[in-house]
Homo-oligomer: A and B are copies of this chain.
Amino acid sequence: HDQLCYNLTLEKKLISLNIDENKLFGICLGVPGLIDIENNRVTTSTVIPIDDNNDFYYYIKNRYNDIPILLGNESWFSAYAEKEFGSGTNIQNLIFIDINIGVGAGIILNGEIFTGSRGLAGEIGHISIDMNGPRCKCGNRGCIETMVSIPAMFNTLTNNIVSGRKTLVKEIIAKNHDRITVEIIREASLKKDELVLEILDDSARKLAFGMTNIINLLNPEVIVIGGEITKLGNVFLERIKKYIEDIQLKPNKDKIQIRYSSLKGNTVTLGGAKYVLDNIFEPGILLDGIRF
């Protein structure tokens, strides 16, 4: 039954896009969750429901059995898209950090998606920057996800408002919103709201410590920040850069590009499609027209 559902969904999608099934080169499945790369299953996902048998990779593989099916974390493919389409030069080592409700990441090393031994590389949300910090739901303390995610910023802001701290955010919400959003924080920061600037500065500093850990371990050319948090704008990015400059190793000075994602649309799809193509094309396959 599940098998039928998954494959009907794919078939319907192809029909709605008017794509002949024989023209598929491969299928890339980008999932917001931990991937068990040995068994092509999803270990856990906090975003989508994963059924017990978790066999969807195999359902799809059975249905489309003459083309490669690739399963990965969605951030891996966003990172690949950034490497291929975001930076314009021959980038070999790039880290993509996706900051939304949670913190995800994709790592490109030596030009390839790096998954680690069991698919658990890039758990940047659980890089700790403070061994004495607040307990994270993962069991560790002071993890980036606990210290710098969007809910973390909202919490700090709310706690300050509740305890009577003055901020423009209160007025902006009162006017025409029912809850805090990233856009409201940005609006208040542009109006130089003191509390909001303090919170941005504190988050930027924390993120800078986490990013410096990544830099000192992997020495990438580029770190790209993506997700909702980029809506905070340059005021946030510039602070991150300033703090990294303060604490980085001297030989890295001015050598590591730190920027927001500049790609539009769904980068998971973009990167996943390019990844399929890059991994199945042997020289000549296009010219031979085997699948056209």
What CA separation (Å) do A206 and B142 show in the bound complex? 13
Is the pair B130, A130 in contact by a Cβ cutoff of 8 Å? yes
Is the pair A116, B251 in contact by a Cβ cutoff of 8 Å? no
Is the pair B121, A218 in contact by a Cβ cutoff of 8 Å? yes
User: Hey, which chain B residues are within 8 Å of A252, CB to CB?
Assistant: 118, 120
User: Does A114 reach chain B (CB closer than 8 Å)?
Assistant: yes
User: Does A119 reach chain B (CB closer than 8 Å)?
Assistant: yes
User: Does A181 reach chain B (CB closer than 8 Å)?
Assistant: no
User: Does A149 reach chain B (CB closer than 8 Å)?
Assistant: no
User: Does A126 reach chain B (CB closer than 8 Å)?
Assistant: yes
User: Does A212 reach chain B (CB closer than 8 Å)?
Assistant: yes
Is the pair A128, B212 in contact by a Cβ cutoff of 8 Å? yes
Is the pair B209, A249 in contact by a Cβ cutoff of 8 Å? no
Is the pair B117, A221 in contact by a Cβ cutoff of 8 Å? yes
User: Hey, which chain B residues are within 8 Å of A131, CB to CB?
Assistant: 129-130, 142, 205-206, 209
By beta carbon, the residue of chain B nearest A36 is B251
Q: How many copies does the complex hold?
A: 2
User: Hey, which chain B residues are within 8 Å of A128, CB to CB?
Assistant: 129, 209, 212-213, 247
User: Does A155 reach chain B (CB closer than 8 Å)?
Assistant: no
* Min CB gap A122→B, angstroms: 7
Is the pair A247, B209 in contact by a Cβ cutoff of 8 Å? no
User: Hey, which chain B residues are within 8 Å of A251, CB to CB?
Assistant: 34, 36, 43-44, 118, 120
User: Does A87 reach chain B (CB closer than 8 Å)?
Assistant: no
Against B, the Cβ 8 Å flags (1 = close, 0 = not) of A202-235 are 0001100100111011111100000000000000
Other-chain residue from B119, B130, B138, B213 in contact with A127 (beta carbon distance below 8 A): B213
Other-chain residue from B117, B129, B138 in contact with A220 (beta carbon distance below 8 A): B117
What CA separation (Å) do A57 and B233 show in the bound complex? 46
User: Does A55 reach chain B (CB closer than 8 Å)?
Assistant: no
Against B, the Cβ 8 Å flags (1 = close, 0 = not) of A24-67 are 00000000001010000001100000000000000000000000
User: Does A109 reach chain B (CB closer than 8 Å)?
Assistant: yes
Is the pair A219, B249 in contact by a Cβ cutoff of 8 Å? no
User: Does A93 reach chain B (CB closer than 8 Å)?
Assistant: yes
By beta carbon, the residue of chain B nearest A140 is B247
User: Does A284 reach chain B (CB closer than 8 Å)?
Assistant: no
Is the pair B217, A249 in contact by a Cβ cutoff of 8 Å? no
What CA separation (Å) do A220 and B119 show in the bound complex? 10
Binding site for B on A (CB under 8 A): 34, 36, 43-44, 92-93, 107, 109-110, 112, 114-124, 126-132, 138-142, 205-206, 209, 212-214, 216-221, 246-252, 255
Contacts A/B (CB < 8 Å), 11 sampled: A34-B251, A36-B251, A109-B110, A117-B219, A117-B220, A120-B219, A122-B217, A126-B216, A131-B142, A139-B249, A214-B217
